[in-house]
Amino acid sequence: MKRSRGNATEQTRSKQLHQLDYRFIDDLKSAPIADRLEDNKQYLNELFEDCSDFVVREFQIEQGAKALLFFVDGMVNTELVNDVMKTLMVFDGGDRDIERLLRQSLPVSQIQQADNFGDLLLSLLGGDAGLILDGNHQSLLLGIRGMEKRSINEPENEAVVRGPKEGFVENMRTNTSLVRRRLKTPRLKMKHLTIGRESNTSVVVTYLDGIADPLVVDEVLNRLEQIDIDGVLESGYIEEFIQDSAYSPFPQVQYTERPDMVAGALLQGKVGIIIDGTPFVLIVPFVFMDILQATEDYYERFQIATLIRWLRYLFMFLSLLTPGLYVAITTFHQDLLPTSLLLSVAAAREAIPFPAVVEALIMEITFEALREAGIRLPKTVGSAVSILGALVVGQAAVQAGIVSAPMVIVVSITGIASFTIPRYNGAIAVRMLRFPIIIAASLFGLYGIMISVMLIIGHLADLRSFGIPYLSPLGPLSYADLKDVAIRAPWWTMRSRPSFISLKDTQRMDTELPEQIYKQGGQRGMEFRHQKEEDEAQ
């Protein structure tokens, strides 16, 4: 009878193996681990057929009990694997008690149990080793991962003069530890999910319990759980799935390589999404004002941080509108220019065969191509090629009479202005919108630019990020949050967290010390005399 049941189970598993689909691992959660070691070994060998990196090691522990150790080569620490086997070979395991083995004899800090092949494979393919004892329908999953990983270095895309120099890497657990080191509190929660039918990518949603809005956290988890895709290889896959408006050029999800930025966002009540295999962590919700704010704003004194923010706002508008304004003025509104400047521009454009709009499009497209070439080329030659290309192409184009010298100046200012925007995805949105504004300016002049700006503002006002209005705290207006928008007020004046995000804990700090220093006028230090003053007093 038992033999017939065993044959039926093997037939069911064999049938399941021949009906593989994209939900294979989920289906395997209904396939239990057998008591007979040989059945499990055969099933694993069939699952990993033609997989040369899969290792199965059968051995005996003391008193003849058989055991099966299996792992993926290159994903485990082989020294720890050898230590586990040595320990088991001298284990008094004649009674095959897996619970006693778990409690007393395995030199591994992280051990889990699985009773089905679905959970076993998820752990195994994540870098754990599996152990099955004959006569047990449970498998032990040993956390002895040893995959090669990149060391922690300074973020390349978000370098700062003052601030931490650590950046995220491709290993998820390293990234979670970098966040945990900055927020040493049990209120920092990290919920694990698996996304991707084939990649089975580990994803961690992190937030501060008691600060983050539970509705936002639930919405993030709900959107992630509904993602149905064959594989997730980078955070960009997830970003496009969970954003509110897929067709908007403006980013609604922030990404960063900096652990300190993630920690700061969590303290504001936001939610972080850490994806295995990428050094970029997603942060939601994300509003427009975050595009122009950098981490270093909060590390330098508030005066210089405020001035730099004003500079960013100015250059953002220059990056968006300068080419369009040049086209509109030279085509329709020449009377806006002083006479001497008008004569200079007219003389420079006299030999140019193209209208201003074609001239602007040629230079803008060429500049974007040079920028892309500089990114894709090796770092040692990329910057040199982009700079030399811009100089050579610009000078040659002017001498050949294809474009005018003022247009080269305009495009150069526009390119430099776009580099002052801290968020790369925000700068991309500005670069994209520059082209329709140029076309609108060529058709309707300054009226076209005004209409374009009004359409952009209307779109921003209608946009949301996880339910938060995109123009917050300007629309709707929140006076309490203006201390961290156009200016960066002193730290001791920003007592509460942003009010446009629904938070459970809004109080951020106690201001007793700054108020005490302010009331005393900072003069209490005069009470402490130097040694020379003490001697003179005596």
Tell me the pLDDT tens digit for each residue of 297-318: 899 999 999 999 999 999 999 9
Q: Is residue 180 part of a domain?
A: yes
With a cut of 70, say whether residue 462 has pLDDT above it.
yes
Q: Are residues 279 and 319 both part of a single domain?
A: no
Beta bridge partners of 496: 507
Residues 318 and 224 placed together within one structural domain of the fold: no
Residue 60 — very low, low, confident or very high, per pLDDT cuts 50/70/90? Answer: confident
**pLDDT value for 11:** 59
From start to end of 155-199, where are the E strands?
188-195
**pLDDT tens-digit map of 190-233:** 999 989 888 889 999 999 998 998 999 999 999 999 998 988 99
Q: Is the pLDDT of residue 171 over 70?
A: yes
**Domain stop point among 286, 310, 328:** 286
For the chain, the straight-line distance linking the first and the last C-alpha, in angstroms and rounded, comes to: 107
Tens-digit pLDDT profile for residues 87-143: 777 765 555 566 666 666 677 778 888 888 888 888 888 888 988 888 888 888 888
Q: Is residue 351 part of a domain?
A: yes
Residue 56 in domain: yes
Residue 150 placed within a domain: no
| CA 81 – CA 506 distance, rounded (Å) | 49
What range does the domain containing 65 cover? 2-142
132 plus 264 within the same structural domain: no
Candidates 132, 24, 126; CA nearest to 70 is 132
Sheet containing 139-142: order of strands: 54-60, 66-72, 129-133, 139-142, 111-114
Contacts of residues 64-68 at CB distance under 8 Å and 24 or more positions apart, as own/partner, are 64/94, 65/93, 65/94, 65/96, 65/133, 65/134, 65/135, 66/37, 66/133, 66/134, 67/37, 67/131, 67/132, 67/133, 67/134, 68/37, 68/40, 68/41, 68/130, 68/131, 68/132, 68/133, 68/134
3-state secondary structure of 71: strand
Round to whole Å and give the CA distance between 161 and 66: 60
Task: State whether 309 and 282 are in the same domain.
Answer: no
Range scoring the smallest mean pLDDT among 43-57, 69-83, 496-510: 496-510
Q: 436 preceded by cis ω (within 30°)?
A: no
- 87 part of a folded domain: yes
Q: For the residues 329-352, what does the mean pLDDT come to? A: 87
pLDDT score, position 62? 64
pLDDT at 203: 94
Do 205 and 352 have their domain in common?
no
Predicted local distance difference test score (pLDDT) of residue 315: 94
- Name the band, by pLDDT with cuts 50, 70 and 90, for residue 284: very high
> In terms of domains, do 457 and 348 share one?
yes
* Same-domain check for residues 306 and 272: no
Candidate from 27-31, 40-44, 346-350, 483-487 with smallest mean pLDDT: 27-31
Q: Tell me, yes or no, whether 165 lies in a domain.
A: no
- How far apart, in whole angstroms, are the C-alpha atoms of residue 161 and residue 299? 10
pLDDT (0 to 100) of residue 283: 95
pLDDT score recorded for residue 523: 60
Predicted confidence at residue 7, as pLDDT, reads: 57
The tally of domains found in the chain comes to 3
pLDDT at 484 over 70: yes
Residue 262 banded pLDDT, cuts 50, 70, 90? very high
Q: What is the pLDDT of residue 137?
A: 83
pLDDT at 529: 59
Residue 1 is predicted with a pLDDT of 46
Q: What is the pLDDT of residue 429?
A: 93
250 shares a domain with 393: no
Mark which of 251, 286, 321 sits at the end of a domain: 286
> Is 162 a member of any domain?
no
Q: Provide the pLDDT for residue 350.
A: 83
Q: 389 and 279: one domain?
A: no
Long-range Cβ contacts of 241-244 (<8 Å, 24+ apart): 242/284, 243/465, 244/463, 244/464, 244/465, 244/466
Residues 308 and 277 in one domain: no
Q: Find the mean pLDDT for residues 156-178.
A: 89
pLDDT of residue 22: 37
250 and 309 in one domain? no
The Cα 292–Cα 285 span in angstroms is: 15
Q: Both 308 and 445 in a single domain?
A: yes
| Residue 480, in any domain of the structure | no
The pLDDT of residue 524 is above 90: no
Asked whether the predicted pLDDT for residue 457 surpasses 70, the reply is yes
Domain end call among 416, 451, 469: 469
Q: Which is higher by pLDDT, 352 or 101?
A: 352
